[in-house]
Chains A and B, each alone.
Chain A
Amino acid sequence: MLHPITIVHYLILSAALLLVGTIGVLTRRNIVIILMSIELILNAVNINLVAFSRYFGDVVGQIFAIFVITVAVAEAAVGLGILLALFRNKETVLADEVDLLKW
């Protein structure tokens, strides 16, 4: 009943993780949780890269995953810095209450 694990299993898992992350980014109001959902999306990308790296027997996919992790770290640090500045100025962490450009 259980099929052997192939790359397609990893691709489908990665697609599912990407979707959960996207739904989190699009529907949540709390900016902290939106940033966490972005981490989920980047992890879905990494699963894909590592799966193809193993499939082709080429280590370059894992190098790309390292660069994706680097960008994720930079994004989290800057994003949380922006969140602190926002909270100091507007006293809110809800994304739809920051509507200065909306009219």
Chain B
Amino acid sequence: MTDTIFFYSFALMTLLGAVLTVTRKSAVHSAMWLIVSLAGVAGLFLLQGAEFLFAVQIILYVGGIMLLFLFVIMLVNLDEAAKQRQFNKQWWVALACALAVGGEVIYFIRKGAGAIQLARPVPAAPVAEGNVERLADVLFSQYLLPFEVASILLLVAIVGSVAMAKKRA
């Protein structure tokens, strides 16, 4: 019962935040609503027993990425953009296509819901070790190479963004 209540409140937080993010005029307001949405997603992670991802979501998204967005909003002059039209000319085509895809996805999820055996109980997590230990075990043995590749990707991203943002000499 409490699970149900928490799920619906986090889902409401996520969706409301998302809708307000894409509809607000000012980019700062959008960023604030994006924080609400990302915090809702973090709550959903916690509800599903993914404690490590919950912490990562809060620290990295709310603490890191949003800070980056707010810095850029501060550096770039958005006053002119806020006075103009907010949606492009083809917005109704985009809306129609997105709603068509959405209807399709919902239809197939409902149609396939029987196939994934809803009655099957969720396998209980082993109680001996926590979420972080299990993640670390798999990440640093089976997925060590992708982990290292991800670090190279981050290095390239750091160098790339600095090269992109620096002033021409």
Give the interface of A toward B (CB within 8 A): 2-13, 15-24, 26-30, 32-33, 35-37, 39-40, 43, 46-47, 50-51, 53-57, 59-60, 62-63, 65-67, 69-78, 80-85, 87-88, 92-96
Chain A interface mostly helix, strand, loop or mixed? helix
Partner of A54, one of B4, B50, B95, B167: B50
Complex-state Cα separation, A16 to B44, whole angstroms: 15
Across the interface, do A29 and B109 meet the contact criterion of CB distance under 8 Å? no
- Partner pick for A5 among B7, B69, B97, B124, CB 8 A cutoff: B7
- Would you give 5 A-B contacts (Cβ < 8 Å), ordered by A? A2-B1, A13-B11, A27-B91, A69-B61, A85-B164
**Residues B1-35 near A (CB distance < 8 A):** 1, 3-4, 7, 11, 14-15, 18-19, 21-22, 27, 30-31, 34
Which of B34, B157, B158 has the largest count of A CB atoms less than 10 A from its CB?
B157
Q: How many residues of B are counted as interface, with CB atoms below 8 angstroms from the partner's CB atoms? A: 88
From B44, B94, B118, A10 is in contact (CB under 8 Å) with: B44
B contacts, CB < 8 Å to A: 1, 3-4, 7, 11, 14-15, 18-19, 21-22, 27, 30-31, 34, 37-38, 41, 44-45, 48-50, 52-53, 56-57, 60-61, 64-65, 68-69, 72-73, 75-78, 80-81, 84-91, 94-95, 97-99, 101-102, 105-106, 109-110, 113, 116, 118, 122-125, 131, 134-135, 138-139, 142-143, 146, 150, 153-154, 156-158, 160-165, 167
